[in-house]
Amino acid sequence: MHRVGTWVGAKRWPNRMSHPDNWGKPIGGQVIDFTDPRAWANTPQFPVDNPHAGDVMGVALKAKSEGRLDDVIPVYWDFGTHRRVCWERLKEVHTFEEDIALWKAAKAMKWDELIHPRRRKPRTLAEFLPETLQHLALA
């Protein structure tokens, strides 16, 4: 579980389907509290930009008690030109440092594929990650 205020990443890498030279740096976001009005703004429950905090608290606590928020967290993403809150699945979110390491490893793996196009067995992502972060290749 990620604490409120933790900077996270979720493999949001601009242009990651293009040539590795064109890949943008990973986009980071900050975990916010599930009762934060920003997390509920412009949702079916609150179709307004700035919902009342008291109303949000009631809906959020009810959703939590029903188990609808067990595997998701709200993340306040900074896209550079704009900011947005998205509810992310816990299994898809890593600390920002881990996301940077994954980005570097994925970029190195892509370069390796381009440099060695005839390799019969492609190298795995784990081969490009530091030993302490090998567990990220399994996710």
- pLDDT tens-digit profile of 68-90? 999 999 999 999 899 999 999 99
Domain boundaries, the chain: 7-34+69-138
Instruction: Identify the pLDDT of residue 40.
Output: 96
Neighbour-count burial of 75, counting CB atoms closer than 10 A to its CB (0-12 exposed, 13-18 middle, 19+ buried): buried
Q: State the chain's mean pLDDT as an integer.
A: 93
Of 116, 117, 114, 139, the C-alpha closest to 125 is 139
Query: What average pLDDT does range 93-103 have in this prediction?
Result: 95
Tell me the C-alpha distance between 127 and 118, whole Å. 18
For the segment 28-66, what is each residue's pLDDT rounded down to a tens digit?
999 999 999 999 999 999 999 999 999 999 999 999 999
